[in-house]
Chain A
């Protein structure tokens, strides 16, 4: 292709790119959030506005946002790491202290001492959640055990009988949602409000509940945890096939349930942008269309952020970010990474959230899907040259995401995820606190905004960029254990079903399901490993007499950086799901996971984000591994390797090898640069190997387009904003372009009919071999780095070094 020809192709794609971008911005950035806001305000007025508690006619706080309690006469909540004061709702934050950080141990010691000092007679073991900082810094809950622990002190301070206080706690217990989800817990603000009321209201005595002895405490997972895990798998067993079929119909333009709505819209969009639906593209045109569209997205989002302070829909009055942060965020959202160098509450206006971030949540996910479809056509078409039309596939992909997002957003609102255009609300503190400068803080400012609409697509589109700084750990973003379950499901819903869609499009659903099974075979043991590691807690805490045993009264385990309502299992599950899919949303602080928990998160990303992975990108990445696996397997059975009847020849192997090299090189080289230069090193929060893990995690997450972080790293610096932006862009569009080149190389080939000599592309042996190849390539590339990060940290922690 000579440059003149290339230029004319580029010029031809600019117009549809601009028109479609602005039309999709209208639909997903204006219409969609307003629709959700409208419904939410009418149907769920309490939930969508922050679950405010009205006490005696005045607003006294939010049922979802914790308040600081320091007076000995109040039940204390969980330690909060927000600054400048604890429970600063305007700036949610976890401690991000690593499990081996001496600062963590000394903070724990101080908290233990404070508890003992306030109640020297109390010899009960201290429940771990009472001395570990929550993920959001705003956790409204403590465990039942943590409340019971304080009964003695409260009774003494308030001159009440222990039995009465105990009864009060028992009557304030929130049991597991629907009997299975989350932890039984006590809302500290509600409990303290009830405590204040106690003088006037007689307490109805009730017996303290005792741990159920159904499982021995050391077994870790309790029956409800197992039920949730089974339910988690069950949802996919049920949804993969129907959703997979639905997506095939939408992608192919066949009639489906929602065609009466989507078809006219699609026709209109195509007509306005002057794209003909049957104008097929070769891989080069397809790539150019994708790049042009994405560049427009980056430019628009970059500009929007820089201008946000002067634009409407900014009730919190946030300023504009620095240019490097704006660029980082723009690249991050367009590449479906959603790396959070920004803090949602303080740095992003509602308009940017809606018209910028929310739009990219749709379009970046849809872009990933188009690349997958391109590769699918490459594999399924016989001796052709075209792999579909980017614009048509993009619009259809958005049409898949939009209706599901609407449903998800409404479920989230019903649980208490905020959805309003109103600005922040200020509520009084029940127990005012002094800040570091000695000023008395009497109020708390609750951030609001059109969050649910954004969060639904953030999960569904495997984007992960939070509306608030602490993402899905924030009670307004992920208010209940059930909303948490829904958010977990939403991450994997489409990546899992796309496997089946792929199978159908290449001839048989089982060819896709086998890949899904391979992914699951990698996922399950790592999930089990992470849950086991987190349940085990932090050995350093055991040594200072903190109770980390999981029982029915407390979540136990490593609760630093986790929320009580989710407990250990649902936090570990969320973290493994979010790193396996390239989502990056978090409901707990990954930096504070045990080293082995962090190891699982790192490995999940380093395997190439192919275990489920992003929308489209996970499966197309996995198909590259399939091609490598089939190549070696083909050699081993003595036949020129083929996959789905397409011969795998030098050109395919060259492209596939480079696709695998790109993220590995990006991660290793950028990490190496960062650990050598000062701007890289000074951003680290935690000392020792954990600090190395923070840097490794950052570049792993950026290069693999995950977006989650070891939050201790101060990533909002020019150095990190620019280096991660380069990693995100290259990791995304480098591999996507090469994948389309692979599609172009495959599509021209004949399809060799399968016979006895053909290697199966769906039977158990294929699955096992694929798993082996994925793990070995990932392990060989990253074992040395992991050895110097989480592995040695775990060994040191276990050995008490």
Chain B
């Protein structure tokens, strides 16, 4: 599958975004907005308090020199602004994308068909059948008509016609796609453009509630709800902040007692307490938390996946079982008929003709490949069929996933073809005996990883069509990576057990569901869920919809049917079934980034104590200077500056996420503890010392 260009490449981030983020960062200082992030709200309150103290100091009544209070106050404001900037930047990237999408959403005229319009196969509506209305007046279930050059006004389902559509606006894929009624290619998206032919579409969403609108609001973050893990983490961070608040407030009491006990020095000043509080509060993670969440959603969109909730992304990180459709995901495209095998002394020509007849109405790729095979190998053309068709009334029995049989009836001739197990039942129901030779052929094909289709005429077996699958290159390695991540892959196929087992072994999946029906897929998912597992699934067909609705993470192909898209909680605009693996990685990356920054933030505090405590109490207890192991001159200011700058330094990490490589939980944890835990303890010692040296060089203190 060609890799489509990403949204990013069409809308490269401009310096303008950075500028706008700066402005937004100031706007976000509004306390009513800040209170939503309690950690940063505390910092803002501290900034405001120190500003007041600075004014007081300017009048000559300050606890500390005005210059010191002013510097602390300024850097506290920077801390808040930096955090706001990170959030604004993450939002800004989304806004830029939303902007370009919104351009497509502009009101267009829609050709609304009159109520009572009768759809007739193949008939294009005429001028008298419709009324030109504004697209904003369209409602769900309204019928409308579009022709070449028109923009499809709202999301809908094709009910008649076939047309090529340019969906590049949402997928980034410039090659046009075919949309037609029935089958799996009937869904159309508002904002896409008809290139040729015409369609009658039934609106599946009200104007303004369509896919594009949804996508815009998601990207803009307007509807972004906090995910459970984010909520939990936020609670923990609030808890830590509360501890540090109490630590700092009580420290004032401890300090004034100590001053009396030691008989020297002054109680710790409010400015220093606020500085200590801000340094201790988990501002690094608190300031970047929402940026991480927004950036995670953004990363998904860059991979052309639209999700209905942030919850789904996180759930993706938790997936233990991946249900993958064999076709198109594990195997290359579709099975192809490669051979016809006679059984029970039947004639080859008879078999070929019967197989062809049975497949005429079978629009599945397998069905078509049979027609092709018969034509190429036995020279039988469609004319045979047409001749028959003109003679008697032909009644096609379409393939359904329940019966897994298709065929044709004309006169008293009943032709059927289908999977071996159902066909054996069919043969026996017709009072005939399933011969050992037939069984042997079926088994031989199955064991070789092929799919046998038994062809019958009036309940008598004529022979077997051999369909073959080709497993995609590199897929095996992908599955072994997933296994390392603790994710089990299960292949879903309509094939019989033997066939499925052979392909499963070849592809290296952990399990398979053979002879899958919508019910068996649903039951499989429920079984896994009852066992406490999180299940992800991709699907595109209407028959996948129930299973998609049940799965914890359900990715529908954009080319899929409307029911499939509605049942899913993510839609892959590229319609690439292996995309699920990337989604899982993004989900994990999102959580890992939060965890890593939390660890880093908390580990930082140890160093800050070593820096601030000796400085804060040196007048009371000079002996504490022994703890000033860094030999700092401007300890408190350096710590506050470090605390502010580290947020800026970590913005790229928050936006890009920590690097994710497939590995076991144990290894991932070890690496992250070393980098962010031990690194978090060491980094501030170095950073604060460097800042202090710079301050000394600049002549401060």
A residues at B contact (CB < 8 Å) = 628, 631-641, 645, 648-650, 652-654, 657-658, 660-661, 664-665, 668-669, 671-673, 675-676, 681, 687-689, 691-692, 750-753, 755-760, 763, 765, 768-769, 772, 776, 779-781, 783-785, 787-788, 791-792, 795-796, 799, 801
In contact, B232 and A650 (Cβ under 8 angstroms): yes
In contact, B627 and A787 (Cβ under 8 angstroms): yes
Which chain B residues numbered 248 to 278 have a C-beta less than 8 Å away from chain A?
249-258, 261-262, 276
Given contacts A636-B596, A752-B532, A780-B606, contact A792 B673 (CB under 8 A): no
Expressed in whole angstroms, the Cα–Cα distance for A752 and B529 within the complex equals: 9
Q: Which stretch (B11-19, B314-322, B557-565) binds chain A?
A: B314-322
Chain A contacts for B606, CB-based, 8 A: 776, 779-780
B236 proximal to A (CB < 8 A): yes
Chain B contacts for A636, CB-based, 8 A: 591-592, 595-596, 599, 668-669, 672-673, 676
In contact, B673 and A769 (Cβ under 8 angstroms): yes
In contact, B254 and A637 (Cβ under 8 angstroms): no
In contact, B668 and A780 (Cβ under 8 angstroms): no
B613 proximal to A (CB < 8 A): yes
Q: Which of B530, B532, B626 contacts A645 (CB 8 A)?
A: B532
Name the residue among A634, A637, A689, A759 with the largest chain B CB count within 10 angstroms.
A637
In contact, A788 and B243 (Cβ under 8 angstroms): no
Interface string of B602-633 (1 = CB under 8 A from A): 11011001000100010001111011000000
Chain B contacts for A753, CB-based, 8 A: 531-533
Look across to chain A and name the residue whose beta carbon is closest to the beta carbon of B251: A784
Which chain B residues numbered 94 to 125 have a C-beta less than 8 Å away from chain A?
none
Name the residue among A668, A676, A787 with the largest chain B CB count within 10 angstroms.
A787
In contact, A657 and B669 (Cβ under 8 angstroms): no
Chain B contacts for A633, CB-based, 8 A: 595, 669
Given contacts A650-B228, A660-B239, A760-B665, contact A784 B673 (CB under 8 A): no
Expressed in whole angstroms, the Cα–Cα distance for A626 and B673 within the complex equals: 16
Question: What would be 19 A-B contacts, judged by CB atoms less than 8 Å apart?
Answer: A632-B236, A637-B592, A637-B665, A645-B532, A648-B232, A649-B228, A650-B232, A668-B247, A672-B254, A689-B261, A757-B665, A759-B669, A760-B666, A765-B666, A772-B673, A780-B280, A783-B613, A784-B613, A801-B622
Q: Which of A637, A648, A669 contacts B668 (CB 8 A)?
A: A637
In contact, B254 and A692 (Cβ under 8 angstroms): yes
Name the residue among A654, A750, A763, A780 with the largest chain B CB count within 10 angstroms.
A780
In contact, B486 and A755 (Cβ under 8 angstroms): yes
Distance in angstroms from A241 CB to nearest chain B CB is: 26
In contact, B258 and A689 (Cβ under 8 angstroms): yes
Given contacts A756-B665, A757-B665, contact A635 B253 (CB under 8 A): no
Chain A contacts for B250, CB-based, 8 A: 668-669, 671-672, 785
B484 proximal to A (CB < 8 A): yes
B233 proximal to A (CB < 8 A): yes
B residues at A contact (CB < 8 Å) = 228-229, 231-233, 235-236, 238-239, 242-244, 246-247, 249-258, 261-262, 276, 280, 314-315, 317-318, 320, 483-488, 530-533, 587-592, 594-596, 598-599, 602-603, 605-606, 609, 613, 617, 621-624, 626-627, 660, 664-666, 668-670, 672-673, 676-677
Q: Which of B236, B257, B486 contacts A675 (CB 8 A)?
A: B257
Distance in angstroms from A110 CB to nearest chain B CB is: 25
In contact, A780 and B602 (Cβ under 8 angstroms): yes
Look across to chain B and name the residue whose beta carbon is closest to the beta carbon of A792: B621
Look across to chain A and name the residue whose beta carbon is closest to the beta carbon of B678: A772
Q: Which of A634, A645, A756 contacts B595 (CB 8 A)?
A: A634
Expressed in whole angstroms, the Cα–Cα distance for A796 and B677 within the complex equals: 33
In contact, A692 and B261 (Cβ under 8 angstroms): yes
Expressed in whole angstroms, the Cα–Cα distance for A680 and B175 within the complex equals: 81
Chain B contacts for A780, CB-based, 8 A: 243-244, 247, 280, 602, 605-606, 609
User: Which 7 residue pairs spanning A and B have beta carbons closest together?
Assistant: A757-B486, A635-B595, A638-B588, A636-B595, A756-B486, A657-B239, A672-B253
Look across to chain A and name the residue whose beta carbon is closest to the beta carbon of B239: A657
Distance in angstroms from B380 CB to nearest chain A CB is: 53
Given contacts A636-B596, A660-B239, A776-B602, contact A759 B258 (CB under 8 A): no
Chain A contacts for B315, CB-based, 8 A: 640
Chain B contacts for A650, CB-based, 8 A: 228, 231-232, 235
Look across to chain A and name the residue whose beta carbon is closest to the beta carbon of B673: A769
Distance in angstroms from B228 CB to nearest chain A CB is: 5
In contact, A681 and B666 (Cβ under 8 angstroms): no
Given contacts A637-B668, A640-B591, A756-B665, contact A688 B261 (CB under 8 A): yes
Expressed in whole angstroms, the Cα–Cα distance for A432 and B603 within the complex equals: 62
Q: Which of A628, A661, A672 contacts B242 (CB 8 A)?
A: A661
In contact, A787 and B239 (Cβ under 8 angstroms): no
Known contacts A631-B233, A752-B533, then 18 further A-B pairs from the complex at CB < 8 Å, ordered by chain A residue? A635-B594, A635-B596, A637-B669, A638-B590, A639-B318, A639-B588, A649-B232, A669-B246, A671-B250, A671-B253, A675-B257, A681-B257, A759-B666, A760-B666, A765-B669, A768-B673, A780-B605, A801-B623
In contact, A758 and B236 (Cβ under 8 angstroms): no
In contact, B485 and A757 (Cβ under 8 angstroms): yes
Distance in angstroms from A209 CB to nearest chain B CB is: 42
Chain A contacts for B232, CB-based, 8 A: 631, 648-650, 652-654
Chain B contacts for A658, CB-based, 8 A: 239
Expressed in whole angstroms, the Cα–Cα distance for A669 and B251 within the complex equals: 10
Chain B contacts for A785, CB-based, 8 A: 247, 250-251, 254
Given contacts A661-B239, A676-B256, contact A638 B317 (CB under 8 A): yes
Chain A contacts for B242, CB-based, 8 A: 661
Distance in angstroms from A757 CB to nearest chain B CB is: 2
Distance in angstroms from A650 CB to nearest chain B CB is: 4
Look across to chain B and name the residue whose beta carbon is closest to the beta carbon of A680: B257
Look across to chain B and name the residue whose beta carbon is closest to the beta carbon of A684: B261
Given contacts A640-B228, A675-B254, A692-B258, contact A668 B246 (CB under 8 A): yes
Q: Which of B483, B530, B603, B676 contacts A756 (CB 8 A)?
A: B483
Chain A contacts for B320, CB-based, 8 A: 752, 755, 757
In contact, B314 and A757 (Cβ under 8 angstroms): no
Chain B contacts for A756, CB-based, 8 A: 483-486, 664-665
Distance in angstroms from A171 CB to nearest chain B CB is: 49
Expressed in whole angstroms, the Cα–Cα distance for A667 and B301 within the complex equals: 49
Expressed in whole angstroms, the Cα–Cα distance for A785 and B677 within the complex equals: 24
Chain A contacts for B254, CB-based, 8 A: 671-672, 675, 692, 784-785, 788
Expressed in whole angstroms, the Cα–Cα distance for A363 and B199 within the complex equals: 80
Distance in angstroms from A703 CB to nearest chain B CB is: 13
Expressed in whole angstroms, the Cα–Cα distance for A751 and B320 within the complex equals: 13
Expressed in whole angstroms, the Cα–Cα distance for A752 and B315 within the complex equals: 14
Name the residue among B627, B660, B669 with the largest chain A CB count within 10 angstroms.
B669
Distance in angstroms from B410 CB to nearest chain A CB is: 54
Distance in angstroms from B149 CB to nearest chain A CB is: 47
Q: Which of B251, B261, B484 contacts A691 (CB 8 A)?
A: B261
Expressed in whole angstroms, the Cα–Cα distance for A52 and B690 within the complex equals: 71
Chain A contacts for B594, CB-based, 8 A: 635
Q: Which of A652, A681, A759, A776 contacts B665 (CB 8 A)?
A: A759
Given contacts A783-B609, A788-B617, A796-B621, contact A635 B592 (CB under 8 A): yes
Given contacts A650-B232, A769-B673, A785-B254, contact A664 B623 (CB under 8 A): no
In contact, B588 and A631 (Cβ under 8 angstroms): no
Expressed in whole angstroms, the Cα–Cα distance for A648 and B258 within the complex equals: 42
Chain B contacts for A657, CB-based, 8 A: 235-236, 238-239
Chain B contacts for A760, CB-based, 8 A: 665-666
Expressed in whole angstroms, the Cα–Cα distance for A781 and B244 within the complex equals: 7
Distance in angstroms from B21 CB to nearest chain A CB is: 26
In contact, A635 and B247 (Cβ under 8 angstroms): no
Chain A contacts for B621, CB-based, 8 A: 689, 788, 792, 795-796
Distance in angstroms from A670 CB to nearest chain B CB is: 9
Q: Which of B487, B531, B590, B609 contacts A784 (CB 8 A)?
A: B609
Given contacts A638-B592, A650-B228, contact A787 B617 (CB under 8 A): yes
Q: Which of B231, B239, B255, B598 contacts A788 (CB 8 A)?
A: B255
